[in-house]
Structure 1
Amino acid sequence: MYPHFQDAELENWHDFEVESRKEILSLLRGIGGKNQLIRMLIHGESDVCVTSILEVDDQLDTVYLDCSIDREQNKRILASRRLSFETTLDKVRILFAADRIEAATFEGNPAFKIAVPPTLIRLQRREYYRISTPVTNPVRVLIPLPEELGGSTTFPLADISCGGIAILDNKMILGDAIGRNYLDCKIDLPEIGQVATSLQIRNSLDLTLLNNKTNRRLGCEFVNISRGMLSYVQRYITKLERERNARIAGLG
Structure 2
Amino acid sequence: MSALPNEEIVTNEAVILECLNQITKNNTPLSLRLRESESNDVYQSRIQSLNIKKRQIVLKQILPSDWRGKITSVTKLEIKSTMNMGSIRFYGLLSPLDDSENNPYCKLTLPKKVFRMQLRDYYRVSLAKIRSSVTLKNSDNSVIQGSCRDISMSGAMITLPITTTEVEVGRTIDECKISIDDVLELEFRGKVRSLHKTDSDTLAGIQFVDLSPSQLKPISTALNKIERQNMKP
Task: Give the number of the structure whose alpha-carbon radius of gyration is greater.
Answer: 2
TM-score calculated relative to the size of structure 1:
0.42
TM-score calculated relative to the size of structure 2:
0.45
